[in-house]
Amino acid sequence: MLQAVRVVFPLLIVLALSGLGRGQTTIRVATPMPPPVWAVLERELLRANARACADFFAKYFDERGFLLCVERWGGDDGPDDAIENVNDWPLLYALGASENVWTMTQKAWEGHLRQYTLAKTKDVEFARDGMYYKEFPVMMDWMHNGEGLTVFNVMGLADPTDERFGQRVRRYAGLYMNEDPGAPNYDPKHKIIRSLFNGSRGPLMRKTTALDWAGDPIDVAHRFRPRHGENSYEQMLAHFEFYNDTLGDHPQNLSATTLALNAHMLTHEAKYKEWLLDYVGAWRKRMSENGDIVPTNIGLDGKIGGATDGKWYGGVYGWGFSVIDPATGKLSHRPRVHLGLIGFGNAYLLTGDDSWLGPWRRQIDRVNANSKVVDGQTMYPHMYGDNGWYAYSPQKYDDGAEELWYWSMKGEDRERLPRSGWRDFLEGRDPTYPERALQADFATLQRRAAAMRLDATTPDTRLADDPMEYNPATAANLVNLMLGGLYTHSKGQVLHARLRYFDPAAKRPGPPENVAALVSSLTAEATTVTLVNIDPTRPRTVIVQGGAYAEHLIERVEVEGEVRLVDAPVLTVELGPGCGSKLVLKMRRYANDPTLARPWDRK
């Protein structure tokens, strides 16, 4: 059997860009492997996703790529919701779905930018000339900005050479680096983003009103079905009645660092990395000064709580932000503290320095240290207000725990997490999990497609977020299983993955047609992946890359008992017809400067 695998070493090729590697290794696999169930499910799920996305696009978008809906500004229903209707489509393409998925994604994005540049408000002052300006939201909080950039922030996985993408990456990052005099969002002296509301027209330098958040008046009854539960415009205003304290910086603004990260990975200009690490570093210092808890307001003077009467926990979406939900009449806790972790994750991706993770570890432990026993049960706090910790529940506070484990691969971080199907599989406790997870995705896709066919809304009775529940894209399990990666959700962050694949023949991302991949083990030093070509008649060649952005160095590979040197971020595997094998990749993670460049474009 060992003779069926032959390793070929071409002439040494020096890769200058970002220190990405010093050579290239090709492995030829000629060992027959009957198609595993998971492999067949993977490939068919990608095909089914592509077909369902085409049906969805045909129903909800026009020939310009405009979403067929009533355009509105606001936190309940706004521009961010419109483009979220194609969330995960770039990921599907990067995983190997058809070219049509990428074509539709591009059309939807271009249409979205034009549609919401043309869409204007009457009463909300800062969007009267367009909800988008310079192809970016005029000013909104970064929970919503991040959601609206979920598609764009992973478009670089598909085609980083697109000229329009490159221009936007630079322009968007520049909005937060004071390169645009019309958008002074950042204060370099105090290292703050000046307001929770910020964007292409700069920061909103006053307290926000319910109108700023809810958008222009609109008739709701008998026409729309707001997804937040309100049945009148008055209730929409009531939803945002206390959304006022937005001056100064908030940890969710750290999501804006993703713009600089993408710009750095595209251009490798030092200024983007320097700004990102400087801004995140300021927040790391604030956490240390605040007892290892991230403050939720930094005043315009740079002081913790400076715009909220000295309260470190103050402000909209802060630790103490609990309001009455007008739709239910009940108290609702709405902190958005966890979004700050995106910035620390971006810093870690750039450096591999564990000191970026330490503050969030300590925060989790500090919050849970305030537990108390109620009726014999240990309860843990999740909020902090004028009277101290509150919002106790039996569930430990664990915002960011999964990311910490994934990035560090340390035992102490794993201990903070409960068991899950995916982690049980990676740890050898649930070998049939992949098949069950993928089969469940088929059921989800079928359910959404059936509901879409029954959707009787018309463009004039449809809000931008109405179609979201029918978006058929099911990428989360594929990201876990194929890439050994973390699903991005709708936070507007980049992809964190142990591996990625490219088709060198088609010059596109994703494994070639009929090639499937299953990552079955992740450790700090190694990744185990099975690659199989389920086509019994034709060979396939796949490039395996360490990391979503070539940030991991593959030091060597073990295949069927043979160990070969790689010493590069990529490995080429030639799979014979109907052949496959398990590869154990020894890796040095975060050894390389991350890049959007595709393997064949690197010089």
Residues 126-135: tens digit of each pLDDT: 999 999 999 9
Chain segment 447-506, per-residue pLDDT in tens:
999 999 999 999 999 999 999 999 999 999 999 999 999 999 989 999 999 999 999 999
What is the helix (H) or strand (E) element at residue 560, kind and residue range? none
Alpha-carbon span 161 to 150, nearest angstrom = 19
pLDDT at 7 over 70: no
Q: Binning pLDDT at 50, 70 and 90, where does residue 231 land? A: confident
pLDDT of residue 9: 33
Average pLDDT over residues 412-419: 96
Number of helices and strands in the chain (H, E): 17, 23
Bridge partners of 285, per DSSP, are none
Residue 505 corresponds to which tokens in the numbers above? 């023949």
What is the C-alpha separation between 109 and 462, in angstroms, rounded? 19
The average pLDDT across 510-535 equals 98
pLDDT of residue 225: 81
Please determine, for residue 257, whether its predicted confidence score (pLDDT) is greater than 60: yes
Give residue 156's pLDDT band: very low, low, confident or very high (50, 70, 90): very high
The least confident of 14-23, 90-99, 331-340, 398-407 is 14-23
- CA–CA distance, 138 with 593 (Å, rounded to integer): 32
Distance (Å, whole) CA 530 – CA 505: 21
> Residue 216: is its pLDDT beyond 80?
yes
Tell me the C-alpha distance between 491 and 513, whole Å: 30
pLDDT for 18 beyond 60: no
CB distance 583 to 552 below 8 Å? no
Q: What percent of the chain has pLDDT over 90?
A: 93
Q: How would residue 228 be classed by pLDDT, with cut points 50, 70 and 90?
A: confident
Q: What confidence tier does 427 reach under pLDDT thresholds 50, 70, 90?
A: very high
d(CA 355, CA 408): 11
Residue 128: exposure state from Cβ atoms within 10 A (0-12, 13-18, ≥19): middle
Across 287-314, average pLDDT? 98
> Cα–Cα distance between 499 and 483 in angstroms, integer?
5
**Residue 327 confidence (pLDDT):** 86
In this structure, are strands 570-575 and 515-522 parallel, antiparallel, or unpaired? unpaired
Please report, for residues 30, 41, 95, 455, the alpha-carbon distance to residue 47 in angstroms, rounded to integers and kept in the order given: 26, 10, 11, 23
Measuring CA to CA, how many Å separate 470 from each of 38, 85, 191, 244, 465?
A: 25, 8, 41, 33, 10
Q: What are phi and psi of 192, to 5 degrees?
A: -135, 150
Coil vs helix vs strand at 258: helix
Angle between helices 270-289 and 257-267 (to 10 degrees): 150
Nearest to 81 by CA among 510, 389, 385, 464: 464
Residues 540, 581: contact at Cβ < 8 Å?
no
State the chain's maximal CA–CA distance in angstroms: 74
The sign one gets for the Cα dihedral 156, 158, 161, 165 is negative
pLDDT of residue 371: 98
Residue 568 CB: number of other CB atoms within 10 A? 23
| Range of lowest pLDDT (240-249, 326-335, 523-532, 568-577) | 326-335
pLDDT of residue 20: 39
DSSP code of residue 504: T
Q: Radius of gyration over alpha carbons of the chain, in Å?
A: 24
| pLDDT value at residue 227 | 74
Do 199 and 144 touch, CB atoms closer than 8 A? no
